[in-house]
Amino acid sequence: MKLSEEWKLLSFYEKFEKVICIILSFFVALIIICATYKLGYHIFAFFLEKGIDPLEHKSFKALFGMIMIVLIALEFKHSIVKVIVDQESIVQVKTVLLIAILAISRKMIILDIKATPAITIFSLATVLLALGLVYWLMRERDDRLCRQDEKEDI
């Protein structure tokens, strides 16, 4: 079915959702472009101007943290585009959970363990574990529903 034919079948609210997702996708794309430009600038500044060794722990964490921010933004944009392209009505909870897991993982990676209180590290680890557990439970449910659908088709 062509895009124009699919568009005619959508309700007013579904069209509204799609338009908002297109606008958000455009804004996130602009942010990703700016962040990538700034990342490139910082990388060149690290190497050329400051002469910092990328294998030095503090520099590595800073560079890696910036790269992960761009990757998280890309994943976020992907979840918005998926709503537009795959005819899903809302952003999927599993995708949001994965983005949250990525963001907290990034925080854990760049964390200065010596300067961070133990309770903060424990809290982040607990949240990460809880998000992972919720994601696993949702995936198990989806897998079970998929197996049931396959059995019904036979």
Q: What is the pLDDT at residue 43?
A: 83
Could you tell me the pLDDT band of residue 120, with boundaries at 50, 70 and 90? very high
The full set of domain ranges for the chain reads 3-153
Question: How many CB atoms are closer than 10 A to CB 137?
Answer: 10
- Provide the 8-state DSSP code for 140: H
Q: What is the pLDDT at residue 87?
A: 63
Greatest CA separation for the chain = 66
Q: What is the pLDDT at residue 95?
A: 83
How confident is the model over 71-80, as pLDDT tens digits? 999 988 988 8
For CA atoms 62, 68, 74, 76, the dihedral sign is: negative
How confident is the model over 9-31, as pLDDT tens digits? 878 888 888 889 889 999 999 99
pTM > 0.75: no
Helix 118-153 to helix 93-110 angle, to the nearest 10 degrees?
150
Asked if residue 77 lies in contact with residue 29, where contact means CB atoms within 8 angstroms, the answer is yes
Q: From its phi and psi, is residue 53 left (phi > 0), alpha (psi between -120 and 50) or beta?
A: beta
Residue 37, pLDDT > 90, answer yes
